[in-house]
Amino acid sequence: MDKQGYPRITDIVGLGIFLFRAMLIFLFIGEIMKQSRLPKFIFMSLVVVLGSISLTFAGSHGHKKDTKKGILLVAFGTSVPQAQKSFDHIADMVGKEFGTIPVKWAYTSSIIRKKLAKQGKQLDSVEMALVKMMEQGFTHVAVQSLHTIRGEEYDDLVKTVQAFSHLPDGFEKIIVGEPLLNLEDDMKTVTQAIIDNLPPQRTKNEAVVLMGHGTPHPSNAFYAALMFHLQRKDPLVFVGTVEGSPDITEIKDMMVEKKISKAWLVPFMSVAGDHAMNDMAGDEEDSWKNILGKAGISSTPVMKGTAEYDNMVTIWIAHLKTAMSYL
């Protein structure tokens, strides 16, 4: 207020900025709710937190923030303790590569986050992790996808990041790093990494079957393309999926046709989690191990996710380096 009790122009401008920002926040939350299956109470908490950030920024309007870079690693997640070593390995390699730049984590699976919460372990969603990073003053953020292909999960991540990039007085720059398999060069690099990581105990006539997740998304074609590239180097390496094509029945028929009697089962997922333990190597009738067994093909599971191999993590890190170069 001025001496006559009237609001100063700066007060009016600040209020206008705050109201404009609040409107954008509610639009942003509404858009995220359309894209996500998270409970509404989480989004209400986002409204409160973002609102408090908005008030803070309204008061500091016109003050340039100091540059503060950060990395957010985003994975589907895992609740299997033995599989956590994959993410520990990524965290270790990223830490060594990027030194003092703070690294945060987010899991996209609400089911896994709830399971972990019951165990006393709190993991953030992408939205909550980014809200916290805004509150902590980060100005430049590289959000690195730890997904295998550019599927539905990756598309959702990009939409979320785009929504955050439009918040006034939010991040100055925020960018998404590409998943493991994205471009033709990735296909060649991943193919060679897989060949280098094949079980050393494997003998000449034994097959290797990689288990991918699979998706109804068009990017599912990456799995068949990967098998084509692999079989040009080793005709007995196959790639199947749990929820896409080719499935294990198609892979089994290919193996029977080649008169294969022994196979190694290897996860083509960042972690050897629930799918690897149950769908691949479990004792249920429809596990890959038992489906192959009924066809006369014995199998040996390898419980090691792709993120446990240095040469695979190096590919994700290369994508993260590219993202960081744009900040």
pLDDT tens digit sequence for 185-232 = 999 999 999 999 999 999 999 999 999 999 999 999 999 999 999 999
What average pLDDT does the segment 71-84 reach? Answer: 92
pLDDT of residue 322: 98
What angle do helix axes 184-197 and 221-233 make, rounded to 10 degrees?
50
Is 59 a residue whose pLDDT tops 50? no
The pLDDT of 128-149, averaged and rounded, is 97
Each residue's pLDDT tens digit, 268-285: 999 999 999 999 999 999
DSSP string, 163-203: HHHTSTTS-SEEEEE--SB-SHHHHHHHHHHHHHHS-TT--
Give the span between the Cα atoms of 166 and 20, in whole angstroms. Answer: 12
pLDDT > 90? residue 140: yes
Q: What kind and span of H or E run contains 21?
A: helix 9-35
What is the three-class DSSP state of 88?
Answer: helix
Q: Using CA atoms, how far apart are residues 300 and 149, in angstroms rounded to an integer?
A: 26
Instruction: Give the per-residue pLDDT at 168.
Output: 83
- Amino acid identity of residue 218, one-letter, is P
CB 49 within 8 A of CB 13: no
Q: Is 319 a catalytic residue?
A: no
Residue 174: closest CA among 131, 211, 204? 131
- For residue 22 the two structure tokens come to 């609040």
pLDDT at position 11, please?
Answer: 46
Name the active-site residue from 89, 147, 213, 229: 213
**pLDDT score of 161 more than 80:** yes
Q: What is the pLDDT of residue 128?
A: 96
Q: How do strand 69-75 and strand 103-107 relate by DSSP bridges?
A: parallel
pLDDT, position 225: 97
